[in-house]
Copies of this chain bind each other. A is one copy, B any other.
């Protein structure tokens, strides 16, 4: 199995960390959707990361669907809490983290992939507001967690992965505020997660 994309994408990184936590072997292929657009396009016309290429050549896109495949078809084990209220809470928190990732990506596109005169400040302000509101809710969710527990107990779940990956992604990008003073629980949570071998094996790259 081949996972295509740089780990500076939070969607690639959450997928890679999931594979490691599930014990799934994979080959990591770094290919940029911007610097190597034509090469990537020859591989898949969506030019989206992550791209998962299965051993028979089947190509899957969308990190949620790829993670579904890995959990249900490969590992046959889910990184979601088994109890109903915890499962629901894990979905709620994962949704907040995903919207956080999306908003940072939109800000990067705005700042780095269009000339200065084509940027639109009201659009940027709207995205920042959506981003900060979602991160505030994440901070609330994480504030109740005490080490060594994770969000839903002793084991790492999809919501833990997505939350920690978002925070590291925020730190990596100057487009957004990633001030530990404003979001102290998230900063401490990320610090713990990034010390795990599965996270350390998937460092951000550009």
Q: Would A62 and B98 be within 8 Å (CB), given that A41-B129, A73-B87 are in contact?
A: yes
CB pair B61–A64 under 8 Å, yes or no, is no
Q: Give me 13 A-to-B residue pairs in the complex whose CB atoms sit less than 8 angstroms apart, sorted by A's number.
A: A37-B126, A44-B133, A47-B129, A47-B133, A48-B130, A60-B88, A60-B95, A61-B95, A73-B84, A73-B88, A113-B123, A114-B123, A118-B118
Range class of the A interface residue count: 35 or more
Cβ-closest chain B residue relative to A59: B92
Set B68, B113, B114, B133: member contacting A46, Cβ < 8 A: B133
Protomer copies = 2
- Whether A175 is near chain B, meaning CB under 8 Å from some CB there, is no
Per DSSP, are chain A's interface residues mostly helix, strand or loop, or mixed?
Answer: helix
Set B54, B114, B133: member contacting A45, Cβ < 8 A: B133
Q: A60-B91, A62-B98, A65-B94 are in contact. List 11 more A-B contacts (CB 8 A).
A: A45-B130, A46-B96, A47-B130, A47-B133, A48-B130, A61-B95, A61-B99, A65-B98, A69-B88, A114-B123, A117-B118
Q: Which residues of A contact B (CB under 8 A)?
A: 37, 41, 44-48, 54, 58-62, 64-66, 68-69, 72-73, 84, 87-89, 91-92, 94-96, 98-99, 109, 113-115, 117-120, 123, 126, 129-130, 132-134, 136-137
- Chain B contacts for A96, CB-based, 8 A: 46, 61
- Chain B contacts for A115, CB-based, 8 A: 120
CB pair B137–A99 under 8 Å, yes or no, is no
How many Å from the CB of A179 to the closest CB on chain B?
Answer: 18
A69 to B65, CA, bound (A): 14
